[in-house]
Amino acid sequence: MNSFHVVQWIDGHLRMLDQRVLPHEEVFIDYTSAEETARGIRDMVVRGAPAIGCAAAFGVVVEAFRIAASGIPSSWPQAMAPGLRALEESRPTAVNLRWSLERMRPLLVSTPPGDVPQRLLDEAQAILREDHAACLQMGRFGARVLPDTPGRPLTIMTHCNAGALATGGVYGTALGVIRGAVDAGRAVRVIACETRPFLQGARLTAWELLKDGIDTTLITDNMAAHLMSQGLIDVVVVGSDRVAANGDAANKIGTLGHAICASRYRIPFMVVAPLSTVDRNAPDGSHIPIEERPMTEVTHIGGVRTAAPGVKVRNPAFDVTPAELITWFVSERGAMEHPTREKMRLLFLG
């Protein structure tokens, strides 16, 4: 199993792998303030809901150390407010970001002022460890309910990157289930959708699965329905950036179309996400904010303009798959078949 240094604490600052230039270059960027970290998140140096949650936690830590360097402030909450706001506003859809900040925030008042930076660091490290443990759990739970394909390999389609690169850096959510299947001894083939406009599938998923020696075939997003119609996909496994209280799941743009097509061809559709991704305050998917990103992501590819000049652009970064299209919702608590509001509620009592 490879380990990717997505988010790491090193020499007193935050270091992140620049996912924008993968797989062509492996570049690391250091962050020493919340403002800089927020910019890194917004510009997608790091992406993927759980990874953003980890990055934001360490963004809080570097901000606290930065402030403490010129003396312990009279009010930590006041001193940290601008940095926390910058982090909170960096990206709107992934709820793990806010979940992570809500874990850090109380420590600003519950900790003796001189101990705050170290206490925040301990908490950020705990978030990273828990993320890793949750991924391993999800991988095991998800792998157990993958369809049987006697006498032939299991073909799993995935969209975007819900892998090690989208989490703390080791196992991943959707790709954790794929790794879980491989670890359980199953023969697995992966169909990776390239995931326009940012090409997380072509650049990141293909790269990290090939590093693990997993058989991976790249397609453009619009080939998925054709492959499904030909019986070439056994199951679709994706991550999520925010799951509503009724099980509706926001994920990278394109996921909804895959779910609708999978439903037509009776192909199981699995969403894999830790409980930190569930937003119990969002009654259903219509309450999940959908980020609209810059138009150049659509008109340009790799810095080169491809589209006809003057054309208007829409660039929603996520869509919402209704719970009724989700066959399995896998969290660190187990694999839930056909999520409903009631089942989701019980999940948090467990």
Q: Which residues are catalytic?
A: 241
Nearer to a second copy, 107 or 260 (CB): 260
Compute the distance between CA of residue 15 and CA of residue 62 in angstroms, rounded to an integer. 10
Q: SS3 letters for 117-146?
A: HHHHHHHHHHHHHHHHHHHHHHHHHHHHCC
Is residue 314 within the footprint of a second copy (CB under 8 A)?
yes
Could you report how far apart the first and last alpha carbons of the chain are, in Å?
A: 31
Is residue 38 within the footprint of a second copy (CB under 8 A)?
no
- If you write DSSP's letter for every residue of 181-207 in order, what string do you get? HHHTT--EEEEEE--TTTTHIIIIIHH
Nearer to a second copy, 2 or 222 (CB): 222
Is residue 152 within the footprint of a second copy (CB under 8 A)?
no
Is residue 166 within the footprint of a second copy (CB under 8 A)?
no
Residue 98: CB minimum distance to a second copy, A: 23
Residue 221: CB minimum distance to a second copy, A: 4
Is residue 206 within the footprint of a second copy (CB under 8 A)?
yes
Is residue 220 within the footprint of a second copy (CB under 8 A)?
yes
Encoded tokens for 193: 């959708």
**Which of the stretches 50-58, 71-79, 104-112, 190-198 binds a second copy when contact is defined by CB under 8 A?**
190-198
Is residue 187 within the footprint of a second copy (CB under 8 A)?
no
Contact 58, 10 (CB under 8 A): no
Residue 210: CB minimum distance to a second copy, A: 5
The binder of a second copy chosen from 56, 134, 320, 330 (CB under 8 A): 320
**Nearest CA among 214, 192, 191, 213 for reference residue 203:** 192
**Which of the stretches 75-83, 132-140, 224-232, 275-283 binds a second copy when contact is defined by CB under 8 A?**
224-232
**Which of the stretches 96-104, 118-126, 194-202, 330-338 binds a second copy when contact is defined by CB under 8 A?**
194-202
Q: At residue 51, what are phi and psi to the nearest 5 degrees?
A: -65, -40
Give the other-Cβ count within 10 Å of 297's Cβ: 16
Is residue 311 within the footprint of a second copy (CB under 8 A)?
yes
Contact 192, 199 (CB under 8 A): no
Is residue 302 within the footprint of a second copy (CB under 8 A)?
yes
Give the other-Cβ count within 10 Å of 189's Cβ: 17
The binder of a second copy chosen from 9, 18, 20, 23 (CB under 8 A): 23
The binder of a second copy chosen from 35, 88, 123, 319 (CB under 8 A): 319
Is residue 217 within the footprint of a second copy (CB under 8 A)?
yes
Helix (H) or strand (E) holding 217: strand 215-219
Is residue 284 within the footprint of a second copy (CB under 8 A)?
no
**Nearest CA among 255, 250, 139 for reference residue 201:** 255
Q: Please name the residues in contact with 285: beta carbons below 8 A apart, sequence gap of 6 or more.
A: 244, 246, 248, 249, 250, 320, 321, 322
**Which of the stretches 55-63, 129-137, 250-258, 331-339 binds a second copy when contact is defined by CB under 8 A?**
250-258
Is residue 18 within the footprint of a second copy (CB under 8 A)?
no
Q: At residue 338, what are phi and psi to the nearest 5 degrees?
A: 45, 75
The residues of the shown chain that bind a second copy, judged by CB under 8 A, are 23-24, 191-197, 199, 202-204, 206-207, 210, 215-227, 229, 253-254, 256-257, 260-261, 264, 290, 298-299, 301-302, 304-316, 319-320
